[in-house]
Amino acid sequence: MNWTQYNDKFLSNDTGGWSGHRRFAYDLVRFMKPRTFVELGTAAGTSFFSICEAVKDGGLGTKCFAVDTWKGDPHTGYYGDHIYQGVSDHVNREFQGITTLIISTFDEALDKFTDESVDLLHIDGYHTYDAVSHDYTTWLPKLAPNGVILFHDIALRGGDVGVYRLWDDLKSVFPYIEFDHSFGLGVLFPKGHMEAFTEIIAQKESFKNQYST
Ligand SMILES: C[S@@+](CC[C@H](N)C(=O)[O-])C[C@H]1O[C@@H](n2cnc3c(N)ncnc32)[C@H](O)[C@@H]1O
C-alpha cells in the first residue's frame, strides 16, 4: 500500500466543521491523483482548500471545481457576498490555474460536466434526506469508473438532517471507508475502485483510528 500521511499539514487553528477531515482529504488526493474534482457545497472553503493544497503540493494537475450559490441554505444559514469574495481571493492567491468557482445551484452546474468525467466528488450541500439523495442521484452519472464520493455530516443527527440515512443505505451496498469525528465523513466507491484501495478498505477500522485524533 502506497498511502502516505503528510502529518505536518493543517496545523492552523481552523475549527470549522470540516477541519478534522483535512488531513485525510489531503492524503486521499495525493494517493488517488484525481484528474477532476468537483465539490458541491464550498461555503468558506475549508474542505476545498485542503484538496487544492494537495493538488498544488503534489503537482497533480487535477482540475478542481467548487459549486455553490454562495448564499447559504436553511442549515448553514444565509450569508453575504463576503464569503464568496474570501474564497475567490484565496484561490486567486494560492491556487491559480487549479480552480474554477461556479456560482450556481448544483442542478444548474450538471450540464458543465460530461458523464463519467469526475474522479472525486464531494457532496456537502443542504443536508435533508431528500436534498442529499437528490444530489447523489443527479451527480452519480458524472462519476467516473473507480471514482470516489465523499459525504460530509454522516454522523450528524437531529432535526431534519438526513445524510446518515442515505449513508446507511449506501454503505450496505457499496465498498466504503468512514470517519465519525468532525460530524462524520463517508468515502464511497459506488463504481468500483482502484486496486490500490483494496487494502485500505479492508483496514477501514484502523484507518478510522489513525485519522480520528
Ligand atoms: C455545509 S456548507 C459547505 C461547507 C464546506 N464544504 C466546508 O468545508 O466548510 C453547504 C453549502 O452548500 C450550499 N448549497 C446548498 N444547497 C445548494 C444547492 N442546491 N446548490 C448550490 N449550493 C448549495 C450552501 O450555499 C452552503 O454554502
pTM for this model (two decimals): 0.97
Res 181: pLDDT: 94
Q: What are the φ/ψ torsions at residue 15 (nearest 5 degrees)? A: -110, 20
Position 59 in a domain: yes
Position 49 in a domain: yes
Res 209: pLDDT: 92
User: What are 117-162's pLDDT values in tens digits?
Assistant: 999 999 999 999 999 999 999 999 999 999 999 999 999 999 999 9
Range of the domain at 173: 19-211
Res 200: pLDDT: 94
Res 1: pLDDT: 66
- Over residues 86-109, mean pLDDT: 97
Distance CA 49, CA 52 (A): 5
CATH of the domain at 117: 3.40.50.150
CA 2 – ligand 1 centroid, Å: 33
Res 212: pLDDT: 85
Position 177 in a domain: yes
Distance CA 106, CA 140 (A): 13
Position 1 in a domain: no
| pLDDT score of 11 more than 60 | no
Position 83 in a domain: yes
Q: What are the φ/ψ torsions at residue 190 (nearest 5 degrees)? A: -85, -5
Position 4 in a domain: no
Proportion of the chain above pLDDT 90, given as a percent: 91
Position 10 in a domain: no
Mean pLDDT over each residue of the chain, to the nearest integer? 95
Q: Is the CB of 47 under 6 A from ligand 1?
A: yes
- Over residues 98-119, mean pLDDT: 98
User: What are 172-186's pLDDT values in tens digits?
Assistant: 999 999 999 999 999
Between residues 135 and 11, which one has the greater pLDDT?
A: 135
| pLDDT score of 15 more than 90 | no
CA 203 – ligand 1 centroid, Å: 31
Between residues 37 and 206, which one has the greater pLDDT?
A: 37
Q: Is the CB of 19 under 6 A from ligand 1?
A: no
Res 198: pLDDT: 96
| pLDDT score of 6 more than 60 | yes
Residue 177's SS3 state is: strand
Counting atoms of ligand 1 from 1, which one is nearest the CA of 71? 25
Counting atoms of ligand 1 from 1, which one is nearest the CA of 16? 9
Res 16: pLDDT: 78
Closest CA to 78 of 68, 86, 88: 68
| pLDDT score of 13 more than 80 | no
Q: Is the CB of 210 under 6 A from ligand 1?
A: no
Residue 194's SS3 state is: coil
Q: Is the CB of 153 under 6 A from ligand 1?
A: no
Domain count, the chain: 1
Position 37 in a domain: yes
